[in-house]
Amino acid sequence: MSSSLAKNSSLTLLANLSFSLTNWLLLVVIAKVYDAAFLGQFVLALSIVSPVFLLSSLKLRTLIVVDVDNEYSLEQYLGTRLLLSSIGLTLSILLGISFFDNVPFLLMLLIGIYKWCDSWCELFYAYYHRTGRFDTATFSQCGRSVLSISVVIIIALLSDSAILMVSGWVATTVIFSVVDTVVFTNLRRRNETVSTNWISLLSVQYAMRTPLRILKKYYTLSLSLVVGALFVYIPNFVIEKYSGVEAAGEFAAVSYFLIAGGLLIHSVSQASSPRLAALAKQGNGKGLINLTFKMCLIGAAIGVSGVIVALVAGEFFLELFYNPEIALLSEELTWVLVAAAIRYIYIFIGTAMNALKQFHTQTYIYAVGTLCVLVACLFWVPEYGSLGAAKAMVFATCIECVLFGFFFWRNVRIKGKTHD
């Protein structure tokens, strides 16, 4: 692994670590300061809004990085994000109103606004990565994380209002979405001597035609993201149905360790995306496999470390970070981290398949995995509760890992023969 890749991976790791740490600390504050019911409502709201925004994202962050031929302009990507994120915000609120009476409208709206601003900033981070400005992306993400958690802690200490605390968390993201827009505009003007035409984003070309064209071509990317995310959120819905909103919130606090670790893995995968894309374009199958294998080893090491910690001191850390009630889920934590260890391996295989532009295959694999976790949860949660949900996640990740390994190997061989 080259020094530049290691440096970029470290910077991206730092940025995503700060982001995941902030979101985790938000759950910690809610669990310690506010009641279990609000924790459950917050988790359900995230479980509703997050998949909708993933559906509207089209994985544009990845497309901007791997679009080495400049198939679309940055204005086209920005216009697509503006339209689809706005639709996602509206749709998520409608879903919350229609199907989840136990989630307050204001909470749903606040999380929707947060996701809208976060998705907007995401494109700027992708541009920074594509142009090698990993330090700029890291500075922005870390600054936002520090300010967010500072505001959350201050409000939690001064006020009993959980909604006010969430409002402060959202407000910092709104502020940084404006700041990142200004920074991106100035950097692009200096790097490319091009001024971003923001007014053009409202034209028919950028506001409707281009988004529809990109949607038609890359909708499977969004579908793969959604079905992959539902892997985490489906257990919350099933537990809420059979055990109540409080139980769903407590399990989500435990299963967030899978999400947090996944963000760390994705940070390394994002840094390696340009290198993987270049190897795929060259038809260098051996180099592609070697780099992917190294990345998978990193994922396995992180995953196994988490399982060991859970076995040795899972209950202690759950009580330390959350509360005694959540500490009772230490066995669930171990199973969740086993699932995480398996998933961290094939996340890198998925990144390599992105470089090969094998998007449809990933959608099918994640769909199979999500179906497996749904069926397993429906069978095991009524009898075993949250422990059944954790075991369902392990079962599904095993299926996904086997499928990813098989199709990646097959696609590399096909790509190599075609290049020859």
Summarised one tens digit per residue, pLDDT across range 135-150 is 899 999 999 999 999 9
pLDDT for 1: 47
CA proximity to 217, closest of 51, 330, 59: 59
SS3 breakdown of the chain: % helix, strand, coil, rounded to 5?
90, 0, 10
For the chain, list residues with pLDDT below 70. Answer: 1-6, 68-69, 199-208, 220-221, 224, 267, 270-271, 273-274, 280-285, 358-359, 413-420
Phi-psi region of 342 (alpha: psi -120 to 50; beta: other; left: phi over 0): alpha
Rounded CA-CA distance 288/372 in Å is 30
Give the amino acid at 275: R
Q: How far from chain centre, in Å, is Cα 316?
A: 27
Q: What is the pLDDT of residue 120?
A: 94
* Interatomic CA distance for residues 387 and 90, integer angstroms: 35
Residues 6+ apart with CB under 8 A from 99: none
Q: What is the pLDDT of residue 140?
A: 92
- Whole-angstrom CA distances from 87 to 78, 108, 247 are 14, 15, 31
Question: Rounded to whole angstroms, what are the CA distances from 225 to 207, 274, 367?
Answer: 23, 20, 10
346-403 pLDDT per residue, tens? 888 887 777 777 667 877 888 899 999 999 999 999 999 999 999 999 999 999 999 9
Could you tell me the residue range of the domain that residue 97 belongs to?
A: 3-419
Give the pLDDT of residue 205: 57
Among 73, 81, 157, 64, which residue's Cα sits nearest to residue 118? 81
- Helix (H) / strand (E) element for 157: namely helix 134-158
DSSP per-residue string spanning 27-51: HHHHHHHS-HHHHHHHHHHHHHHHH
Give residue for tokens 């398949």: 353
**Predicted TM-score of the model (pTM):** 0.81
Residue 3, pLDDT score: 60
Residue with tokens 């136990």: 102
Q: Which residues contact 4 (CB under 8 A, 6 or more apart)?
A: none
Task: State the Cα–Cα distance between residues 420 and 410, nearest whole angstrom.
Answer: 16
- Dist CA 145 CA 263 (whole Å): 14
- How many CB atoms are closer than 10 A to CB 153? 17
Distance, C-alpha 22 to centroid of its chain: 14
Report which of 168, 164, 170 is spatially closest to residue 151, judged by C-alpha positions. 168
Average pLDDT, the chain: 85
Number of domains making up the chain: 1
Which long-range CB contacts under 8 A does 186-192 form with residues at least 24 apart?
A: 187/127, 187/128, 187/131, 187/133, 187/136, 188/74, 188/127, 191/131
Tell me the three state secondary structure of residue 80.
Answer: helix
